[in-house]
Structure 1
Amino acid sequence: MHTVGTALIALLSAFALVFVVELPDKTMVATLILTTRYRAWPVFVGVTAAFAVQVVIAAAFGGVLTLLPDRVVAGVVALLFGVGAFLLLKEGFSKDDEDEDTAATNGPATFTRIALTSFGVLFAAEWGDASQIATAGLSAKYAAPVWVAIGSFLALVTVAGIAVLVGRKIADRLRPKLIQRVAGVVFAGFALFALYQAITAAP
């Protein structure tokens, strides 16, 4: 059994490291973009669920996670972000008028659809990411996977909360079409970076 001190150190170490790593990372950017595109609450639920699954995987497998093939992981991430970029740019450059676009943005998208979309995007973004590897490493270091997972999860949720708050303020001031175009370009950038990683990764 772990002492209270060891558990607290593991939790705080995980929170501090993951928060610092993720604050300027694609996790925050992707969450912010999703919030400008969709309603905030289902986005937050979706990304939170993705974080929960990811930290459980990382904490459970510890250092083994770092042995996954980098090329395969990067290739899957590139594909998912590429599809997202295509859909966003297609919608952003469509010929619909502004009123119809606003209705389409706010109307048809159900809570479940938004949450599942957000889950998929953030699950892909976090797979093999620095925060997941850090969680795995700390889990192995402290031999306290539960406490490390809690610390990592709280850090990711905090970053997502900041992104959601910022995203809502931006969304109120920008046209939906512009948001979709910017989001598509950013997602395309993520896809290209992941593709570069896939190509240059060791086999």
Structure 2
Amino acid sequence: MGLSLVEGLYKSLALTVLSEIGDKTFFTAAILAMRHPRRLVLAGCLVSLIVMTILSALLGWAAPNLISRKWTHHITTILFFLFGLWTLWEGFTEEGEKELAEVEAKLDADWKASNGTAKAGSKIDDDLKKKQRPFLAQFFSPIFLKAFSLNFFGEWGDKSQIATIGLAADENPLGVVLGGIIGQALCTTAAVLGGKSLASRISEKMIALCGGILFLIFGIQSFLTPIGDS
């Protein structure tokens, strides 16, 4: 089938970087890192995104076994064109700035709620609090779990996840996983080390336009590639 690991890797890497910079998960990691220890935020965000990338690639790898490769190829091509137009539209309408405001508002509300709960329960015995903690929270830091869950569920169903599934159905899944993990590691590390400052210096419009053009290029390449060579 001519599935190249290197081609899958560079496509996945480029797609991930241009999709994730300025995305909800990028801003979430950046804002969490301002309020909590960076190593815990980085670990939680990275683990969640790596798990999501592997799950997405597995779904894409399994798709040709459930549907004919002809149909997965056509669906992937259509997705690239749709996501390209969608991302270009977001760039022209500057949806990125609204996304940052939404993430900040949500995290501020969660922050105030958790602080209020902590003050109200400050007199509870430490042993009783430990017993009442969720099962996972007894083994992992609450900050790690918060970063993991916010990023995992924030990424679920996002266009970058669906694009990864489509890419893994049409390219070497191992290359897609490696490229996705490298891309997620670069974006998440940048977000945690100074994401909000970085985002303010990078044009959200330009990133969205570059991402949209990249999706369209992948769509054209997929359209022109014979199915037997995809």
User: What is the TM-score with the length of structure 1 in the denominator?
Assistant: 0.59
Query: What is the deviation of 1:133?
Result: 1.1
Worse-superposed segment, 110-119 or 14-23 = 110-119
CA RMSD of aligned residues (A): 3.3
**TM-superposed deviation, 1:33:** 0.9
Conserved? CA contact 2:32–2:41, under 8 Å: yes
Write out per-residue CA displacement over residues 166-191 of structure 1, whole angstroms, 9 at most, x where no aligned residue. Answer: 05989xxxxxxxxxxxxxxxxxxxxx
Long gaps (5+) in structure 1:
67-80, 97-108, 171-203
User: Measured at CA, do residues 83 and 41 of structure 1 come closer, stay the same or move farther in structure 2, by a change above 3 Å?
Assistant: same
- Indicate yes or no: 2:112 matched with 1:114: no
Which secondary structure state, in structure 2, belongs to the residue aligned with residue 45 of structure 1?
A: helix
For 1:146, the aligned partner's letter is L
Q: Does the CA-based 8 Å contact 1:14-1:152 persist in structure 2?
A: yes
1:98-124 per-position Cα deviation (integer Å, ceiling 9, x unaligned):
xxxxxxxxxxx9972211111011101
Q: How many residues are paired up? A: 139
1:2-13 alignment runs, 5 A limit:
6-13=4-11
Q: What one-letter code is carried by the residue in structure 2 that aligns with 1:36?
A: M
Q: Counterpart in 1 of 2:94?
A: none
Task: Return closer, same or farther for 1:165/1:89 CA change in 2, 3 Å cut-off.
Answer: same
In structure 1, distance between residues paired with 2:116 and 2:176: 44
User: Is the 1:43–1:114 Cα contact (8 Å) retained in structure 2?
Assistant: yes
Name the structure 2 match of 1:150: 178
1:56 aligns with 2:54: yes
State whether residues 58 and 173 of structure 2, in contact with CA within 8 Å, keep that contact through their aligned partners in structure 1: yes
1:30, 1:160 → 2: CA distance? 10
Question: How far is the alpha carbon of 1:83 from its aligned partner?
Answer: 8.0
Q: Alpha-carbon deviations, 1:3-40, whole Å to 9, x = none?
A: 7xx11111010000111011121111000011011100
Q: In structure 1, what residue type is equivalent to 2:42?
A: F
SS state at 2:186 partner: helix
**TM-score for both structures, normalised by structure 2:** 0.52
Change (3 A) 1:14 1:118: same
Residue of structure 2 equivalent to 1:140: 169
Query: C-alpha separation between the residues in 1 aligned to 2:109 and 2:26?
Result: 21
5+ residue gaps in structure 2? 64-74, 76-102, 120-136, 199-230
Label 1:168 to 1:140 Cα distance change in 2 as closer, same or farther (>3 A): closer
Shift of 1:86: 3.8
Q: Residues 51-90 of structure 1 correspond to what in structure 2 (within 5 A)? A: 51-62=49-60, 86-90=109-113
Which residue identity is paired with 1:145?
P
Partner Cα separation in structure 1 for residue 195 and residue 161 of structure 2: 24
Name segments (4+ residues, structure 1) moved above 3 Å. Answer: 81-86, 91-94, 167-170
Evaluate the alpha carbon distance shift between residue 117 and residue 91 of structure 1 in structure 2; reply closer, same or farther with a 3 A threshold. Answer: closer
